[in-house]
Amino acid sequence: MSDADSLKVPFSRPSLGIEEENAVLNVMRSGWLTTGKYALQFEKDFADFLAKGCSSNGQKKEVTALAVNSNTSGMILAMEACGVTKGTAVITTPYTFVSTAMCARHLGADVFFADVEKDSYSIDCSKIEEILKKDAEHGEHKIKAIVPVHIAGNVCNMKKILELAKKYSTKENTIRVIEDAAHSFPSLTELGYAGIIGDIGVFSFYVTKTITTAEGGMVTTTDKELAQRMTVMRMHGMDRTTWNRYTSPRASWEYDIVAEGYKFNLPDILAAIGIEQLKKARLFFENRIKIVEMYNRSFKNLDYIKLPPDGKGNAWHLYLMRIIPEKLKINRDEFAKKLQAKGIGISVHFIPLFRFTYWKNLYPQFTSENFPNAERQYVTTISIPLWPDMTKDDADQVIKAVKEIGEEFHA
């Protein structure tokens, strides 16, 4: 068996303890496994957490949190509530996981891509404005939402994005801001927590994320009308929740369908894990920072490594290590394979969407030449291990492997 067959340091590993085990057992023993009191409690706890950092002119806002079975489901709910449908469009970055843009396509909308910034992975606001300006000049007013993605937990320039949405909105067309906050819990900025800075935020609790429910997500907003629409659409367009139907004195079979909804609810058995994970979120974040600091200290003087961008409120979901090709005899793919051969788990975040067959066929005019920054970041970036329970020895093994490869193949 080679080192690659048995990783010494996995790319990611969830931090689960006896608390999560007991929570799941409590749900199993309760006889109620689907969406019920645990999901409601998770929503309340999550909303309360975010509300502590949410203020406007010194006044706290009321946050609504809706538990969903994935970030993808949450993004569809968010876009639908914001009027994204056939004949409309959204603006997002091509440097993201496929679901961000695909959700707009599920709703029949077009997608306009804006390149990322030259020295970061965040969407470039100047490129957003170019698209908005062109849309306005043509009198189309197709754009219903801007969807910034907080890559690796580094929050985009939300102040500027909100200004652009307001500037190009009209009486007939309000441009909403939907944050893809899959990577950014708990990212606290001067504008509040990521996920409640824009009109709607969508989080992910996939197994590799900063907190997990195995699969799942959360949609957050301070807009009551948007919250109401998403609440109805989350469960078949039904005017009652399943929990209400089976716990209310009103007959369980008595309900109305008021919209063409979906089935995007989060079961209690997963929500119970989320409740316990949320209690540990601060500790998880602090542990991540310790590993990041070890990496930064070890890599900052290496001329073949560029440290990841680090802005206000960075959640450090990922450590995006960029190699400098001019300083090496091997490319990113070869560097990544050599890390794996040494037993280090790695990944790449992300393959830009314009490289995929679906998007090539849909928008053949979009190529790497249109998005030079996204292309450059992609071909030079490796995501290396970063998870809360990593030990100093784990980090040391990663650092040792990076340095050995860098020294052996230095140009």
Instruction: Record the tokens describing residue 56, joined without a space.
Output: 């406007």
CA dist 341 → 9, 258, 386 (Å): 12, 56, 18
The whole-angstrom separation of Cα 284 and Cα 274 is 13
- Helices and strands counted in the chain (H then E): 14, 14
The whole-angstrom separation of Cα 326 and Cα 328 is 6
Residue 217: strand pairing partners: 68, 204
Q: Is 337 noted as a catalytic residue in this protein?
A: no
Options 209, 306, 338, 342, the catalytic residue: 209
Instruction: Record the tokens describing residue 299, joined without a space.
Output: 């890599």
The whole-angstrom separation of Cα 154 and Cα 315 is 7
Residue 204: strand pairing partners: 217
- Exposed (0-12), middle (13-18) or buried (19+): which is 300, by Cβ within 10 Å? exposed
Instruction: Record the tokens describing residue 159, joined without a space.
Output: 């102040």
Instruction: Record the tokens describing residue 157, joined without a space.
Output: 């320039």
DSSP 193: E
Q: Coil, strand, or helix at residue 192? A: strand
The whole-angstrom separation of Cα 373 and Cα 347 is 19
Report the DSSP pairing between strands 110-113 and 89-92: parallel
CA dist 223 → 55, 58, 65, 99, 230 (Å): 14, 18, 11, 24, 11
DSSP 63: P
Are 216 and 266 within 8 A, CB to CB?
A: yes
Residues identified as active-site: 209
